[in-house]
Structure formats: C-alpha cells, structure tokens
Amino acid sequence: MIDLPPLDEVEVVRLSREGGLAYIPNLSRVRIFELNRCSTTLRGQVCQAITQASQIVQTPQPATGGDQRFFRVELDVRTQPHATMYSFEVPEAEAPLMLVTLWQAPPDEELNGAEER
C-alpha cells in the first residue's frame, strides 16, 4: 500500500494504460478527471478507484515484464503556494474493476448513467 495525499485536495486525476510490446493508440488513451468539475457521484467513483488501487501497490516502482500492461495514476494536488504531483502504477492484472471501468468509460460520463451536475 502506498500513501496518498488527502483526496479532497486532489484537483486532477489522469488515468492511462501503458506498457506492452506494441503501441496501440486505443489501448493507451488517457482519461482526465477534473474533480472540481465532476459530479458528486463521479468524484466518489474516482476517489474509490484510487483508494482501491493504492492498496494493491506495494511500492511506487514501475511495472516490470516484457508484455505487461499497467495503469498509471497521476494526481495533481494544488496547495498554496505550489502544486504537487503523485504518480503510481498498478499492474493491469491486479487493477480494481472500478479503475478499469473508469478508464474504459467515455470521458465525463457517469458510470451509472445519472447526472448530478
């Protein structure tokens, strides 16, 4: 498990899928969640996925292996007077379902279909 910053201070979450031997653009797209612009439901889903993923990661080391894919999670924390970025990687085979679902879902779409903006 890795230590996360307070999730209420996270402004932007970037979620990408990387690795593997062949570059396939559709399999390496980046999802960006601006938490201050997300609905309460989506923000909760993103925070839940981050928390679950952080419990899987033993140390903040890059994934290893020739054809292993992984999810990179980047958190932008904006505290006065400067910004900080946290990053960790989760092997695809161990990634929580919520993290995978967030990466697969179209941007800015609620996973349950409800809008709360």
Cα distance between residue 82 and residue 63, in whole Å: 29
Q: What pLDDT is recorded for position 105?
A: 78
The larger pLDDT score, comparing residue 115 to residue 31, is at 31
Higher local confidence (pLDDT), 60 or 76: 76
The pLDDT of residue 97 is 93
Q: What is residue 33's predicted lDDT score, i.e. its pLDDT?
A: 93
Q: Cis ω on the peptide bond leading into residue 81 (within 30° of 0)?
A: yes
Is the sign of the CA dihedral 54, 80, 30, 98 positive or negative?
A: positive
The residue ranges of every structural domain in the chain are 7-104
Query: What is the value of pTM for the model shown?
Result: 0.78
Is pLDDT above 80 for 81? Answer: no
- In terms of residues, how long is the chain? 117
Angle between helices 40-56 and 97-104 (to 10 degrees): 130
| pLDDT, position 117 | 28
Using CB atoms within 10 A of its CB, is residue 83 exposed (0-12), middle (13-18) or buried (19+)? Answer: exposed
